[in-house]
């Protein structure tokens, strides 16, 4: 089959399809979906080379089908042909169907974008302001968002939550393009738009404003919406044979198409579902718009308020009164003004109005850095504050900037962390708790404070130890176990520091693979000066503690002997981060400096006190500089480091803690904004005893830590203040010079 041609025929042998679960019959195999399988079409001459390459990556590649000239799709199972369909039939996409469609005209008096939510109507403004933040449509989702790793790849420009308190939700994802070597300023921005209430009012308007909302979210991070590409996700009730039900997806698709044609922006692909009904319950008409555009990491803006003295302004979206739609001709100019004011420095931060209206947008902008807002008198109107005027933009204007003619004053940014509305002062800290409280029982953010039972003084004495053999470019061995996902970030960090990283994929599909891996690991360790355990989820975070798979492998006598030679005879270094730290501690390499049998009194890492995965930036203090890994920093230095783990809580008894403190082995601790170790879950997110984030071996040459120090790059995590580079990798390399 020539490249680019579509195969006319295919014969599939279902007996050869790898399966996770035994017992599936031919029909189940034929229709099953699996994220664990991928189909690749190859020239027959390339099959062997491809399978060999897959084996090196510990992947199971099987020949399951052959392209045929005869235009039929055939599937065989256990000697029987269970599928035999003509290609001509497949090309018809099945039987042609027709349906009657009736699109209901929306009632302008019920325009959701202009209405105050019923639960807030008639209440005093300050009371309504608080209740608005606790509404299910508005409330904080940090406890849900932190379950997803937001910093993997070391290319994250905006963390999901901004500010030194990490409480302002960002409107778009921004991440740099992945590169194998060096740095890039090129980044992608991705956003979404959809409000169920607008779609219920009118699926047509709901889809049109979903497109605009997704584009506005690109604008507030500094990306050009008029260069975006779109994709849609639709989800509707079962349509049956009811014309009015068919009218909802029809109207939604027409609304999205209208927005595309008017703005000249194409959609690439999409996904639809018509199964959103259960008995008498139907989902609201759903068309979510996703927008993607290129941007520059260095020019990316955040939603968190930046400076007291700034003005907060609202840019209403240009609209056509009669149609209740955006004024399509004015939209490009609307975005151009926002972007130009960002470019010249007038706009310091910006956010898009969504559910909750201008009030919720302004409050969330204040949460991240706990700045206050003195609301302007022209905002003392319920409709202005709370109506979900989606797609419009609230922006922080620098002090002294020319006030935009197209904007309305929201208020002034104040140093005092309170929002003042109609003479009532509402502390930002209190409002943040209200905003976070609604989903606390489902996606928790609070956990009991961990008492700091031991005072850990700064250890300022450096070890002065030197390796047996010096080299300008030390070799770093990085084993990659099933589930490891930080090897590329780690290798790039070492390479940038001047080392030579060597990645080895651990193969375990067969007994021969395992033996081959053991032999190769032994060889690589003996050739290297540094052994690094990168982060991830080895063995899928196997039961009874992650890192166990790595530790079991390194207890192999051959591997253990190579590690002992590295540490005892060649004065080499070892480093383990996150999952790698878990492996080091299970082996005993920290805190004991050698592989030992596990004991009941040994320190360990266990589940976070929140009972869930956490992904955020953590403030950590360098408590000891005994380790050569911290040669480039000073005791007491504080860094903002990405965290991402479910089992990162360090636990040790009092006797062990006393010994670690006395030996200067507590390398790093979680601290608050003042730099003091903390037991509060906001600053010590996994609940580690004595706020321990990292420990070392007695001589400091083995370091284990939870924070992903390897996930560093230019313009990463711009929306969370603090120094990000601990110079760990540079220090490790310098040790051998």
Token pair 């025929």 is found at: 9
Kindly indicate whether the domain formed by 475-734 is annotated with CATH number 3.40.50.880.
yes
Across the range 198-217, mean pLDDT stands at: 98
362-411 confidence digits (pLDDT tens): 999 999 999 999 999 999 999 999 999 999 999 999 999 999 999 999 99
Name the pLDDT band for 90 (thresholds 50, 70, 90): confident
Q: What is the pLDDT of residue 543?
A: 60
Quick: pLDDT tens for 649-702.
999 999 999 999 999 999 999 999 999 999 999 999 999 999 999 999 999 999
Work out the burial of residue 226: count CB atoms within 10 Å of its CB; fewer than 13 is exposed, 13-18 middle, 19 or more buried.
middle
Q: By C-alpha distance, which of 387, 385, 392 is closest to 419?
A: 385
Helix (H, G, I), strand (E, B) or coil at 8: coil
Strand 9-13 to 65-68 pairing: antiparallel
Query: Omega before 716 cis (within 30°)?
Result: no
Average pLDDT over residues 29-43: 79
Locate the domains of the chain by residue range. Answer: 9-91, 108-135+167-437, 475-734
Is residue 29 scored above 90 in pLDDT?
A: no
Instruction: Give me the phi and psi of 395, to 5 degrees please.
Output: -135, 145
Banded pLDDT at 3 (limits 50, 70, 90)? very low
Report pLDDT digits (tens) over 504-514. Answer: 999 999 999 99
Question: What pLDDT shows up at residue 31?
Answer: 82
Per-residue pLDDT reduced to its tens digit, 412-436: 999 999 999 999 999 999 999 999 9
pTM flag (> 0.75): yes
Alpha carbon separation from 11 to 85, 87, 444 (Å, rounded): 11, 12, 51
Inter-CA distances, 401 with 106, 362, 392, Å: 41, 19, 20
User: Which residues, at least 6 apart from 129, have a Cβ–Cβ distance to it below 8 Å?
Assistant: 359, 363, 385, 419, 421, 426, 431
Residue 21 has pLDDT above 80, yes or no: no
pLDDT at 722 exceeding the cut of 60 = yes
Q: List, for residues 96-131, the tens digit of each pLDDT value.
A: 889 999 999 999 999 999 999 999 999 999 999 999
> Is residue 66 predicted with pLDDT exceeding 50?
yes
In DSSP notation, 594-645 reads: S-----TTS-EEE--TTSS-EEEEEEEEE-B--SGGGTTS-TT-EEEEEEEE
Confidence of residue 68 (pLDDT cuts 50, 70, 90): very high
Output the pLDDT for position 1: 30
Share of the chain above pLDDT 90, in %: 88
Write down the residue that tokens 């235009």 correspond to.
71
- Catalytic positions, please? 578, 708, 710
Question: Of 158, 237, 164, nearest to 203 (Cα)?
Answer: 237
Please tell me the predicted confidence (pLDDT) of residue 6. 63
- State the DSSP code for 227: G
For 125-180, what is the HEC assignment?
Answer: HHHHHHHHHHCCCCCCCHHHHCCCCCCCCCCECCCCEECCCCCEECCCEEEECCCC
Whether residue 145 has pLDDT greater than 90:
yes
CATH of 9-91, one of 1.20.1290.10, 3.90.650.10, 3.40.50.620, 3.40.50.1240: 3.90.650.10
Our CA angle for 81, 86, 87, nearest 5°, is: 125
For 402, the token pair is 């020319």
Task: Indicate the average pLDDT of the chain.
Answer: 95
Mean pLDDT value of segment 284-290: 96
The answer, yes or no, to whether residue 144 has pLDDT greater than 90, is yes
CA distances from 13 to 21, 48, 71, 461 (A): 17, 19, 17, 67
* pLDDT tier for residue 732 given thresholds of 50, 70 and 90: very high
Assign domain 108-135+167-437 to its CATH superfamily. Answer: PurM-like, N-terminal domain (3.30.1330.10)
């Amino acid at each position: 089959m020539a490249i680019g041609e579509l195969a006319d025929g295919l014969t599939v042998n279902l007996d050869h399809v790898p399966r996770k679960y035994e017992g599936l019959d031919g029909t189940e195999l034929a229709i099953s979906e699996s994220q664990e399988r991928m189909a690749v079409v190859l020239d027959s001459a390339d099959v062997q080379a491809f399978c060999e390459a897959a084996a090196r990556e510990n992947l199971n590649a099987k020949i399951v089908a052959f392209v045929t000239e005869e235009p039929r799709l055939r599937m065989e199972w256990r000697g029987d042909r269970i599928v035999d369909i003509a290609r001509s039939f497949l090309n018809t996409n099945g039987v042609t169907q027709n349906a009657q469609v009736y699109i209901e005209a929306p009632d302008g008096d019920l325009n959701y974008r202009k209405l105050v939510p019923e639960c807030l109507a008639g209440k005093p403004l300050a009371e309504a302001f608080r209740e608005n933040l606790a509404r299910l449509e508005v409330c904080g989702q940090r406890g849900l968002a932190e379950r997803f790793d937001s910093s993997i790849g070391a290319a994250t420009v905006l963390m999901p939550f901004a500010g030194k308190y990490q409480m302002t939700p960002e409107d778009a994802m921004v991440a740099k393009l992945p590169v194998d070597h060096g740095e890039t300023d090129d980044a992608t921005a991705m956003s979404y738009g959809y409000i169920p209430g607008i779609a219920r009012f009118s699926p047509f308007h709901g889809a049109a404003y979903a497109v605009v909302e997704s584009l506005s979210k690109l604008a507030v991070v500094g990306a050009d919406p008029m260069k975006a590409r779109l994709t849609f996700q639709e989800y509707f009730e079962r349509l049956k044979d009811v014309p009015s039900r068919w009218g909802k997806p029809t109207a939604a698709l027409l609304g999205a198409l209208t927005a595309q044609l008017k703005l000249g922006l194409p959609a690439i692909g999409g996904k639809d579902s018509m199964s959103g009904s259960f008995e008498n319950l139907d989902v609201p008409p759903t068309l979510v718009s996703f927008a993607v555009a290129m941007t520059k990491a260095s020019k990316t803006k955040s939603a968190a308020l930046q400076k007291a003295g700034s003005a907060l302004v609202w840019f209403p979206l240009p609209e056509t009164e009669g149609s209740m739609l955006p004024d399509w001709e004015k939209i490009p100019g609307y975005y151009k003004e926002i972007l130009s004011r960002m470019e010249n420095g007038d706009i310091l931060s910006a956010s898009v109005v969504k559910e909750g209206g201008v009030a919720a947008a302004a409050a969330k902008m204040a949460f991240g850095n706990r700045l206050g807002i003195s609301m302007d008198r022209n905002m003392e109107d319920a409709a202005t504050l709370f109506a979900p005027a989606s797609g419009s933009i609230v922006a922080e204007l620098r002090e002294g900037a020319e006030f935009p003619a197209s904007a309305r004053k929201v208020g002034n940014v104040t140093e005092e962390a309170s929002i003042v509305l109609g003479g009532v002062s509402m502390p930002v800290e209190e409002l943040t708790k209200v905003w976070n409280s609604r989903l606390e029982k489902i996606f928790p953010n609070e956990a009991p404070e961990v008492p700091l039972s031991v005072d850990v003084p700064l250890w300022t004495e450096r070890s002065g130890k030197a390796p047996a053999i010096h080299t300008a470019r030390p070799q770093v061995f990085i084993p990659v176990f099933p589930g490891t996902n930080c090897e590329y970030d780690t290798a790039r960090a070492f390479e940038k520091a001047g080392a030579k990283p060597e990645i080895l994929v651990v193969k375990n599909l067969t007994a021969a693979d395992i033996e081959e891996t053991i032999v190769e690991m032994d060889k690589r360790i003996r050739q290297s000066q540094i052994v690094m355990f990168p982060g991830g989820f080895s063995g899928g975070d196997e039961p009874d503690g992650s890192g166990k798979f790595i530790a079991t492998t390194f207890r192999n006598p051959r591997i253990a002997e190579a590690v002992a030679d590295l540490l005892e005879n060649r004065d080499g270094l070892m480093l383990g981060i996150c999952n790698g730290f878990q492996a080091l501690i299970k082996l005993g390499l920290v805190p004991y400096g050698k592989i030992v049998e596990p004991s009941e009194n040994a320190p360990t890492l266990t589940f976070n006190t929140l009972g869930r995965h956490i992904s955020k930036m953590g403030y950590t203090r360098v408590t000891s500089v005994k380790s050569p890994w911290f040669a480039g920093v000073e005791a007491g230095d504080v860094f903002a480091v990405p965290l991402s783990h479910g089992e990162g809580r360090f636990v040790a008894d009092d006797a062990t803690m006393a010994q670690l403190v006395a030996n200067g082995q507590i390398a790093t601790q979680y601290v608050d904004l003042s730099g003091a170790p903390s037991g509060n879950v906001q600053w010590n997110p996994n609940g580690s005893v004595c706020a321990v984030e990292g420990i070392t071996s007695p001589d400091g040459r083995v370091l284990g830590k939870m924070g992903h120090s390897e996930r560093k790059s230019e313009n990463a995590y711009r929306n969370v203040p603090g120094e990000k580079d601990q110079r760990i990798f540079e220090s490790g390399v310098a040790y051998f010079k």
